[in-house]
Structure 1
Amino acid sequence: MTNERRVLVHPDQESLAGAVAARFITKTLDILDAQEIAHLSLTGGSMASAVLDAVWASPARTSLDWSRVHFWWSDERWLPDGDPERNDRQARDALLDRLEIPAEQVHAMPSADSGLDLDSAAASYAEDLARFGTDGLAHPVFDIAFLGVGPDGHIASLFPHRSGIRVTDRTVIPVRNSPKPPPERLSLTRPVINGSQRIWLVLAGADKASALGLALAGASRDEVPVAGIKGRRRTVFFIDQAAASEVPEELIAREY
């Protein structure tokens, strides 16, 4: 399949969340028709929670065999287990705890009260990824990787002008002195994210327009980390109208 990079614009945040949820269910059904297990990577933020809420609200969710899906995270805040600011807690509240998914298929990153330090936590998650490695890789190939994009263009916990976006010899890194609180985090590295079959970036709001426009115009990944993100098959930016003001017209898809 041709590697594509496209932008889909929706009128507002509510329609955006509903459209992504519908596509998520449909695409995961297709994936599970073709293979036994699906590996999906989740992200944090308000739009990510809105999408998962919309998945739960859709009657079509019952058509999926959720017991054949593994969930991972692209990054996590270094906070105690159950903290409402943790990405995994938000995803559990919005969807995962409402579904019948075997606990061992929900691969949360270690928490600050796990008994591990930050470096050991990164190594632990790397070991978990390696257990499901495919194609000679030390990690699973995600069938769909969801990402948000910050106003500064960061993805996962890979921030502008920081070394994280350039790391290629590890799958998981500890992040310290993050420009966005909390200061300590865990993050997948760019090669793991870019190894995904499909990357779906979901972003809304006028404050995201500049970073998105720069990324699509070919900015440096060091300056705008999202510019360095591209999935194996497709990279789709699902955005609302407010975020679309600086998107090149030729990249806006009229249909998916």
Structure 2
Amino acid sequence: MSAADQVEVEVHPDAATLATSVAGEVVRRIEDAQARGEVPQVGLTGGSIAVRIHAEIGRIGPESEVDWSQVVFWWGDERYVDRDSDDRNARSARSGFLDALGVDPARVHEAPALDSGLSLDDAAAAYGQEVREHGAGAFEVLMLGVGPDGHVASLFPGHPALAVDDAVAVGVPDSPKPPPGRITLTFPALRRSRAVFFVVSGEEKAEAVARALAPDGTVEETPARGVVDPGADSPTQAIWFLDRPAASLL
């Protein structure tokens, strides 16, 4: 089955309902993986919708069958700021559910922060090496937001990082949205996922969603198209979780 045959679209009335649905599906997939005897690895994202999802996981997590001490967490990208900066994607997840649910800190793999003293490139290389050493070969679930320009993680339209195929993670020193310094997983790393959840809320992202799901288009213009290659056989399932405003141009 081609990746194109495995793309699903779910449209929810609003951002709150969307977040509830995504959180429930993430928890269910973690439960299923643990029932198979696996230690699931989950890729998290950032942004306002992620804050809602984190809060909902924190709410339903204690009542689930998940052993939260046996789940491994990563991020698809991270802002290169100090570890306790409000801009850090990881800080949102820590406060939203990781700290409250008893996740083993050794299984939470944050990218290095600015106050680590590493250069951006060295920090990206260190994160890539951590994925190689502690990753299980694939994410059980990878969550990705999509920007109004069609970017995913910190892979932006027209950026040289789109073409990187020989590294797990790269530094992006010139992000078109602040803060400028980012660490991002590359397409080859993002594609190593059993399921990718594209989570998109808001009318300002409707055009990017429509471009990403259109029959024709380029990854250079809309990087979200590059996570799951529709022209190749792939085990990856892609689910687009949208609210009505984000789906308004489909």
Q: TM-score range by the shorter chain?
A: over 0.9
**How far apart are 1:232 and its partner, in Å?**
2.9
Percent of pairs with identical residues:
39
Letter in 2 for 1:232: P
Q: 1:202 aligns with which of 199, 202, 223?
A: 199
Matched residues in 1 for 2:25 and 2:128: separation? 29
2:190 maps to what in 1? 193
Aligned length: 242
Q: Structure 2: any 5+ residue segments left out of the alignment? A: 229-233
1:242 — aligned with what? 245
Asked if 1:184 is matched to 2:181, the reply is yes
How far is the alpha carbon of 1:60 from its aligned partner?
5.8
Deviates more, 1:231-240 or 1:92-101: 231-240
Aligned AA for 2:26? F
Determine whether 1:226 maps to 2:228: no
Q: CA deviation at 1:142?
A: 0.6
Residue number in structure 1 paired with 2:159: 162
Q: Where do 5+ consecutive residues of structure 1 fail to align?
A: 135-139, 248-256
The separation in 1 between residues aligned to 2:61 and 2:175, in whole angstroms, is 39
| Code of the aligned partner of 1:66 | W
1:253 corresponds in structure 2 to none
**Distance in structure 2 (CA, Å) of the matches to 1:209 and 1:15:** 18
Q: Structure 1 segments of 4 or more deviating over 3 A?
A: 59-62
Q: What's the TM-score, normalizing by structure 1?
A: 0.91
Q: Deviations over 1:203-250 (max 9, x none)?
A: 111111101101111320010000112273310000000111222xxx
In structure 2, the partner of 1:109 is: 111
Change in CA separation of 1:79 and 1:9 when aligned onto 2, cut-off 3 Å: same
- The corresponding residue for 2:20 is 18
Q: Are residues 131 and 204 of structure 1, via their aligned partners in 2, closer, same or farther at CA, if it must alter by over 3 Å? A: same
Return the alpha-carbon distance in structure 1 between the equivalents of residues 48 and 246 of structure 2: 15
CA RMSD of aligned residues (A): 1.4
Task: With the length of structure 2 as denominator, give the TM-score of the two structures.
Answer: 0.93
CA deviations 1:18-51 (Å, max 9, x no partner) are 1111111111111111132000000100111101
| Shift, 1:59, TM fit | 5.9
Alpha-carbon distance in structure 2 between the residues aligned to 1:183 and 1:61:
39
Kept after mapping to 2: 8 A contact 1:142/1:198: yes
